[in-house]
Amino acid sequence: MDGRATLEAQMTKRARRRDVPAAAATVGMKDTSPRISRRQWLGITAGGAVLTLSASRWWLGRMPWAADPNATKIVVYASPTCDCCRAWVRHLKGSGFNVTKELMNDVTPKKQQLGVPEDLWSCHTAVVGGYAVEGHVPADLIQRMLREQRAIAGLAAPGMPNGSPGMEGPTSDRYEVIAFSRSGATEVYAIRGPI
């Protein structure tokens, strides 16, 4: 075999290994087809998977790698489309709670099961330490309720008061946080907002 035939045989063999047309593997011709290396493909795929997982967990409000296992656990029942509920969950996490979010289209049955009086209802309901928490109750009041261990069913911030946690904006309303019992008895637990 002469030198030229050996070179052509080697180039053809190389072309088969790289899946390149034999003509492109000959001397003097460049392979111009767009290609990425295996390492680049793995990097792009892994990056996309991490981004997708992080985005979905952020959207659902679940980031177990960020939760402190010793933090007070609270379960929030909310609509999957409620932005202020997500904002309230961020408020709780920022205050040290370990939050689990249960998404449901209708939270009414959960409110009824927990004995929340209908006139105190808001957009989301939570359970912490055996107590119900209705609406945009500030985290410090939840912590106070847990420390005091009063004989109540829970706390509520009725409606959706402007300026409450999760309802921040250009205006703030003065609002009451109400303590309620399973029998329906209520009392003002705290007042928040501007005077």
pLDDT tens column, 94-142: 999 999 999 999 999 999 999 999 999 999 999 999 999 999 999 999 9
Q: What is the pLDDT of residues 26-70, one digit of tens each?
A: 555 566 667 888 888 788 888 777 777 766 555 555 554 455 678
Task: Check: CB of residue 133 under 8 Å from CB of residue 157.
Answer: no
> Element (H or E) spanning 9, and its range?
helix 3-18
Q: Into which CATH architecture does domain 67-192 fall? A: 3-Layer(aba) Sandwich (3.40)
Task: Check: CB of residue 87 under 8 Å from CB of residue 54.
Answer: no
Task: Check: CB of residue 137 under 8 Å from CB of residue 129.
Answer: no
Q: Residues of CATH 3.40.30.10 domain(s) within the chain?
A: 67-192
Instruction: Characterise 126 by phi-psi region: left (phi > 0), alpha (psi -120 to 50), beta (else).
Output: beta
The structure tokens 């009451």 sit at 176
